[in-house]
Chain A
Amino acid sequence: MDWVAARVSVMLAFSTALLLFPLALWIGRWLAMGESRSRAIVEAVLLLPLLLPPTVIGFYLLLAFGRQSPVGAALQNWFGLQLVFSFEGLLLASLLINVPFMVQPIHRAFAAIPNSLREAAWVSGLSPWATFRKIELPLAYPGILAGIALTIAHTLGEFGVVLMVGGSIPSQTRTLSIAIYDRVQSFDIAGASHISLVLLACSLTALVVVLLTGARQKRALRDR
């Protein structure tokens, strides 16, 4: 079991979820409850990473931030920051790719809250912020958890972008999925299957957590 790669994977997954969460919460709620007409376009743009092959995203990131690009060279010279073949570059790519995985469930969760409940809260004297905290968030909780769990599970399995933009540098960009690929290439089938089983177990756990929380919510709503 490649613990160094596991640490990189876990750090990447949790950092992505942590950084995406506030943004996704705000955008998801705005998509569900806002009234602007541009919401459809925004939703479509946010869904784009789901349709694009990860290698395409990785390719464009390489073009944009590689040492041979003006932006990449400037970042390197002025800030010593490198956005390719580094953990930071992986994080940026991961943030871009996971936007739909975090925003979509949160959007659907907020959209499922009937307006009548919010209006009842306002009429009862709750401020919009208090309504959000005490009414909307608790009702949207399974969807939010689903978004976080899906993002973490998806990032743990990300391969195409990591390969393009990360290389396979131990302790920096060699994630568990890359480690599996490297093991297979190095004729270490036993090692590869070990890591694969661990990843499979993590993904199943995430799925079970999401489904169980959703099931409890549905049962509670059904038994009113």
Chain B
Amino acid sequence: MKSLIGASRFSCPRRRLVLAALNTGLLLPISARSAGRAAPAIVTIAAASDLKFVLEEISSQVLTDAGVEIRLVFGSSGNLSRQIQQGAPFDLFMSADEQLIDQLHQNGHTVNAGVHYATGRLVLIAGPANPGDFAADLPSLISAAPRIAIANPDHAPYGRAGLQALIASGFADGLRHKWVVGDSVMQATQYVLTGAAPFGFSAASLALAPPLKDKLKVRLVPAELYAPLRQRMALTRRSNASAATVMKLLQSPEAARLFLRFGFSLPETQK
């Protein structure tokens, strides 16, 4: 009878290898973490998701002058604003909604009232699930659609603009029963791209950007149907001098050119 008791279970070479690997793996976090502390200055930007493509372009072309490492976190402006209030370590907040910056400033989370850097444009998009004619007028297009992708109006500025446009077009309840709700305008755009909804409300800066332009049919929503999407940015309380430099660079003529190219309009002071 083979006896289990008394025989050392750890004498098998393969088992020793497994144990050694496990121990090394457990030590790895400690060394990796301390190595990461000697990094250059880092500026973390919380950016509204409609800035996804334009900010990546600006970051690689203009913000390199600041000589810092830029980290971009995209999300719906309302979500990011909430995270800042709860202590998220962002240095600069680029919102797609002015009022969020105002609220943060009143509650003492930002250094000042911020700067109006661009104005966004709402568009209606149609994706691969929708081969039909896109030239009809907006209300009839929307009433014919079985589903409409829209960012959550509760915390996404472009979603709120989409709701305003729907109500102004004569749909009193905003056609809620047809909504496919995205967490941000980027997710709403993605729903149309993947065919979850034939139509959707998106941002011009996303729908007209090079990666998506050829995959979507885009129509500008008339500006009178929604409140202007004045986008504002501000430094947070915890920001450093590098963040201030980055913010200044975002207002430079080169950055302004890129904002224009991606479908934004500029505030009067910058034109």
Contact = CB atoms under 8 A, between A and B. Distances in A.
B4 A67 contact: no
Interface string A176-194: 0000001011110000000
B1 A11 contact: no
Contact of B44 (A17, A62, A86, A169): A169
Contact of A84 (B3, B4, B8, B87): B87
Given A14-B25, A135-B5, A220-B2, A185 B186 contact: yes
Interface string B184-198: 101101100100000
Nearest to B87: A67
B88 interface: yes
Q: Which among B72, B75, B86 has the greatest number of chain A C-beta atoms within 10 A?
A: B86
B133 to A, nearest CB: 25
Interface in A5-53: 7, 10-11, 14-15, 17-18
Interface string A104-133: 000000000000010011000000000000
A84 B4 CA distance: 48
A199 to B, nearest CB: 17
Interface residues of B, number: 41
Given A11-B33, A170-B73, A185 B184 contact: yes
A135 B211 CA distance: 62
Query: What 6 A-B pairs have minimum CB-CB distances, sorted nearest first?
Result: A67-B87, A138-B9, A66-B86, A85-B88, A11-B29, A18-B26
Interface of B: 1-6, 8-10, 18, 22, 25-26, 28-29, 32-33, 36, 44, 49, 52, 71-75, 83, 85-89, 183-184, 186-187, 189-190, 193, 211-212
